[in-house]
A and B are shown apart, each in its own frame.
Chain A
Amino acid sequence: MSGMTLEVENLSTHFATRAGLVKAVDGVSFHVNRGEILGLVGESGSGKSVTGFSLIGLVDPPGRVASGKILFQGRDITALPEEERRALRGNRIAMIFQDPMMTLNPVLRIDTQMMETVHAHAKVSNAEARARSRDALGMVGIPSPEERLSAYPHQFSGGMRQRVAIAIALLHRPDLIIADEPTTALDVTIQAQILAEVQKLAREVGTALIWITHDLSVVAGLADRIAVMYAGRIVETGSVTDVLDRPMHPYTAGLIGSVPSRNKRGARLSQIPGMTPSLIDLPVGCAFRTRCPRADTACAADPPETSTVPGRALRCFHPQLDFAA
C-alpha cells in the first residue's frame, strides 16, 4: 500500500445563503500518511469541521463541495456515486463527532447500534457481528464489554459514551478516521484515556487520523503534523515541532501566544486583537490582515502558498523567518 492514505487538493466547500455565498472551505490542500496523526487546528468558524464533513461526504444543502479533489488511497472519491461513497463511509473512512450523546441513538441498545454498523458492510452472522462489537468495546478499554453490550447509552458516562462512539468507528478497522473535537466535552483524566487509545490505534493498526480541534495543547502531544486553518484556508502546515516552536504565520504565532501556559504566570496574555471575521464579509486578500501586526499594503493581494522547507507550507507575505536559537 502506498504511504499516503488521503490527499486533498484544492478543496472548496461553499454554502449558498440568503446573505451571500459563504466559502467555508476555500481551496484547502493537505495529505495524511498511513499511521499518521494530522492535527487540524482552528477557531470557531475557521472551516475545520466543514473540511471534515466534506471528506466523509456529509455536507448538507445549502452546502456543497464546489471544487477540488479528495484522493483516498489514490482514488478521487468526490466524483463517486452516492452508493460507492456509502460503501466507504463507516467502512474504510469513519468519523467521530464531538458530542457522543447526539451520535448514539438513545432508544437502542449498544449492541443493536453496533451490530447494525457491522452488518452494513459485512455479510456475517449475528453471532459474529456481536463478537466483533464486543471486541471493539474491549479495544477502547470498556470493562466487561459483554455485559455492557446490552446497556443503553444513558447508562454510560460521557467518557464511556465517547468510547462507544470510537468503538463503532473502529468496527471495520478503517484506514482513515476523522475525529471532530472528540475530547472537547470530556474531563482531563478521561481525555487522556481516549488519547492513549487513539495513539495505540495509529501505531498498531496503521490507521491515519485527522484530529480536528481548537486545542493546541492536545495536538502538541498527540499529532505528527499540524495544519492551521483561518477563515476557510490552511495558513500554515508543518511538523508539530516546526509549527509550534517556530511559527512563521502571524496567526499561528498569535494563537500560541494566547495559551496561558506559554505566558509568565500572572502576566498579561498576548492577545490577537479583534475577532474572527464573518465569512460573508472577508477582507480582500489575506483574511487575517485586519488583525495582523505585520500587515501592509502587499497583504491586500491574495498570499499564495509558499514552501520554504519540504513539508512546510504557509500563506503569508511577511512570515517570521528569524528565530533566536
Chain B
Amino acid sequence: MNAPVIELRGVSKRFGKTYDAAARLARGLRRSLGGEVKDQVVRAVDNIDLTIHKGEVVGLVGESGCGKSTIGRMVAGIMPPSDGTVHWHGRDITAMPLDAMRRATLKVQMIFQDPYASLNPRMRVEDIVGEAPRVHGMIPRGEETAYIDAQLNRAGLDPAYKRRYPHQFSGGQRQRIGIARALAVQPEFLVCDEAVAALDVSIQAQILNLFMDLREQLDLTYLFISHDLGVVEHLSDRVVIMYLGRIVEEAPAEEIFARSNHPYTQALLAEVPRIDTRKRAFTAIKGEIPSPLNPPPGCHFHPRCPHAMPTCREVAPALREVAPGHRSACHLNTL
C-alpha cells in the first residue's frame, strides 16, 4: 500500500456556545449560589483515527449532523481540531513552522456542495480561478492568461467564457468553476464535500467522470464526502461510515457493500433506493437521529438498533478489525 498522505490521530472537534457578558454574569452568579452550570457542547467529531493513502479515493458517508463535513474541513485545514493531530505525509501539521504549514495546506483543496454559494458573485471567472495561484506566486510572469485557460480547459470549461460572472453559468458549469479553482493551485489532495449532491443526474454523471479523469491525469487523492451511497460505491476504493461523530465502520468499498458488519451500515444500505428494485415495501430504521447535543450513552446507535443489548447502553464499542482492512465498532463482534 502507498504511503499515507493524510492521517487523523485521535481527532475531536467540539463546538461550544459562546456567552456574552450578561450570560457570563448570570452563569457566574448561579455558580456562586451553588447552582449547577452546564456547558452545552456538541461533539461534532469524537476521537477519530483515519488514514488516507496516496492515490486512494475514500468515501465518507453519514446522515446530516454526523460530523462528516467537519472532518472534511479539518482535513482541508480550514478548521483546527479541538483534540488530536492531523499529519501531512507523516508530519504533524499543527507543529510545523508557519510557511511549511501553508505549503502543506495549499496541497489540500476543497470542493463544496453548493456551486451557488461557494463562488463570489462579484468576481469574474478568470479572477476566481486565478486569484489563489497569483497570490501564491505560482504563475510565471506573462503566462497568466495561458495558465488560467489551461485550468478552465482541464475542468471542461471553454476559456472564451472567462470574463463572465458566476450567475451566467448553470449549476454544473459552476461546479466546474469550483473544480478549476481548486486545481489551480496544483493540489495533491481534494476534499469533495457533497460536490455532486446539488446537480441533476445527467450533470452529476459528467462531474463524476471529470473527477475520475482528473484522478488519473494528476495522480490525485480524494476524500469524497457524500450521503449518496450509490455515488460513493461507484467512486471509492474505501468507505468510512459515520454516525453521530464516530466512525462505526470502515472497509474496502466492495467489502462494505457485500459484507457490511455494523447494524447501522446494514440498515443504511437496505434503505438506499435502487433503480433496480420494483414496488418494494419500504421499512425504516426506527426513530430519528438523536441530537448531537445530547447523544445516547454507550453506542450512539443503540436506541435504533434491532440487536441492542444491555452493554450497548453503557459502553461505547471500539473499532475492531473483523476482516483484513475491515473495521467495525459493534459489541456483537466481541460476543
Name the residue on B nearest A44 (C-beta): B200
A145 within 8 A of B: no
Which of A192, A241, A256, A258 has a CB less than 8 Å from the CB of B271? A192
For B253, what are the chain A residues with a Cβ–Cβ distance below 8 Å? Answer: 265
Give complex CA distance A214, B200 in Å: 7
For B283, what are the chain A residues with a Cβ–Cβ distance below 8 Å? Answer: 192, 196
Name the residue on B nearest A196 (C-beta): B282
Q: Check A259 against B273 for contact (C-beta < 8 Å).
A: no
Min CB–CB distance B144 → chain A (angstroms): 29
Which of A192, A255, A268 has a CB less than 8 Å from the CB of B282? A192
Q: Check A224 against B279 for contact (C-beta < 8 Å).
A: yes
A187 within 8 A of B: yes
Interface residues of B (CB under 8 A from A): 63-64, 170-173, 200-206, 208-209, 212, 227, 229-231, 233-235, 253-254, 267-268, 271-285, 288-289
Name the residue on A nearest B290 (C-beta): A157
For B200, what are the chain A residues with a Cβ–Cβ distance below 8 Å? Answer: 43-44, 214, 276
Which of B63, B170, B173 has a CB less than 8 Å from the CB of A189? B63
Given A261-B234, A265-B233, A192 contacting B208 (CB threshold 8 A): no
Q: Check A268 against B288 for contact (C-beta < 8 Å).
A: no
Min CB–CB distance B225 → chain A (angstroms): 14
Given A221-B278, A265-B254, A275 contacting B271 (CB threshold 8 A): no
Given A261-B276, A275-B170, A157 contacting B282 (CB threshold 8 A): no
Give complex CA distance A87, B32 in Å: 62
Give complex CA distance A276, B281 in Å: 34
Name the residue on B nearest A215 (C-beta): B273
Given A255-B202, A271-B202, A260 contacting B233 (CB threshold 8 A): yes
A18 within 8 A of B: no
Give complex CA distance A269, B173 in Å: 18
For A260, what are the chain B residues with a Cβ–Cβ distance below 8 Å? Answer: 205, 208, 230-231, 233-235
A272 within 8 A of B: yes
Give complex CA distance A222, B282 in Å: 8
Q: Check B205 against A258 for contact (C-beta < 8 Å).
A: yes
A266 within 8 A of B: yes
Min CB–CB distance B262 → chain A (angstroms): 14
Given A188-B63, A260-B234, A269 contacting B275 (CB threshold 8 A): no
Name the residue on A nearest B237 (C-beta): A266
Q: Check A269 against B209 for contact (C-beta < 8 Å).
A: yes
- A192-B283, A260-B230, A261-B234 given. 15 additional CB < 8 A pairs? A188-B227, A188-B271, A190-B63, A191-B271, A196-B282, A215-B273, A220-B274, A220-B276, A222-B282, A254-B202, A258-B204, A260-B233, A261-B276, A266-B235, A270-B205
Name the residue on A nearest B231 (C-beta): A260
For A266, what are the chain B residues with a Cβ–Cβ distance below 8 Å? Answer: 212, 234-235
Q: Check A188 against B205 for contact (C-beta < 8 Å).
A: no
Min CB–CB distance B44 → chain A (angstroms): 17
Give complex CA distance A64, B302 in Å: 52
For A187, what are the chain B residues with a Cβ–Cβ distance below 8 Å? Answer: 63-64, 227, 289
Give complex CA distance A257, B204 in Å: 12
For B230, what are the chain A residues with a Cβ–Cβ distance below 8 Å? Answer: 217, 259-261
For B271, what are the chain A residues with a Cβ–Cβ distance below 8 Å? Answer: 188-189, 191-192
Chain A, range 262-302, C-beta contacts under 8 Å to B: 262-263, 265-266, 268-272, 275-276
A sample of 12 inter-chain contacts (CB < 8 A) reads A160-B288, A187-B227, A187-B289, A188-B272, A193-B282, A217-B274, A240-B279, A261-B230, A266-B235, A269-B208, A272-B205, A275-B173
Which of A157, A158, A221 has a CB less than 8 Å from the CB of B277? A221
Which of B63, B212, B254 has a CB less than 8 Å from the CB of A268? B212
Min CB–CB distance B253 → chain A (angstroms): 7
Name the residue on B nearest A239 (C-beta): B278
